[in-house]
Amino acid sequence: MTRMPHPERRSVKALVIGISQSGKSTFALALALCFYKQVVIWDANEVFLGVVKEPVTNLDELQDAIEDQEPVVVYDASMVADKPEEFEAFAAVLEQYDGITLLIDESGDIQRATAPNRGLDRLLRRAGRRGNDIIETTHRPGDIATLNRSLTTDVYLFFMWNKQQLRTVANEFGDDVAQAAAALPPDGYHYIHLDPHTGRFSVDTASDVWYIDLDRPVSEKRRFTEPERNLRRELWRERETEAYS
């Protein structure tokens, strides 16, 4: 996995799909850390608490952590009763900043296939011009709203065995992709990388390149250093001007 400096690449809006213990959350964090940006994580099930010294638990703490330029910010949403409503308020905070990579773990918790989350929809639609990346994970492909799938730039599929889920993958991405997903090893950490616009896909088995211990703070992981810059709106415009002058 190669780091991708901004703005020399497009904004990434990725879906990472797979069953529990397949490696999808670990991979999603590794992917987020490739973009040189401040990473903000919506953590629905206490998966990422170990990668920071202290998670944030309310919107004021979230804003303070972003302003303090913490390289990775984990928003602990595990105790939130109404996750769709809370995420809309969470998204309203993020809309104030440019140049951030957002990782939403268990995106199905904040939306359903027929009801896109309005806050997430705004973030997705504005991500390109705001210099942001968005990575969503889910157990079930049917949980990701159809609207969100239409905005996706990259899909990463980990092992899945459920026939209904595989049918959803086949209907959305084609029979070849569903068959390849079913053929992945059940012990996880192998994935399919799919371009949803062209239908082209490849299978990646090199988990040693991106594996991260989720029980250790990110600052201790020398392969994934802190973002080189926190691209707030002014810095993003400055870099954009330099890149195209």
pLDDT at 27: 93
Average pLDDT over every residue of 35-42: 92
Global pTM value: 0.83
pLDDT at 151: 82
* Mean pLDDT across the chain: 82
pLDDT for residue 234 is more than 70: no
Model confidence at 14, pLDDT cuts 50, 70, 90, reads very high
pLDDT for residue 214 is more than 70: yes
Model confidence at 1, pLDDT cuts 50, 70, 90, reads very low
pLDDT at 220: 46
Please report the domains of the chain, with CATH numbers, ordered by start residue.
13-244 (3.40.50.300)
Mapped to the 3 state alphabet, what secondary structure does the chain carry? CCCCCCCCCCCCEEEEECCCCCCHHHHHHHHHHHHCCEEEEEECCCCCHHHCCCCECCHHHHHHHHHCCCCEEEEECCCCCCHHHHHHHHHHHHCCCCCEEEEECCHHHHCECCECCHHHHHHHHHHHHHCCEEEEEECCHHHCCHHHHHCCCEEEECCCCCHHHHHHHHHHHCHHHHHHHHCCCCCCCCEEEECCCCCCEEEECCHHHCCCCCCCCHHHCCCCCCCCCCCCHHHHHHHHHHHHC
Model confidence at 146, pLDDT cuts 50, 70, 90, reads low
The string of pLDDT tens digits covering residues 78-113 is 999 999 999 999 999 999 998 999 999 998 889 866
Higher pLDDT, 12 or 235: 12
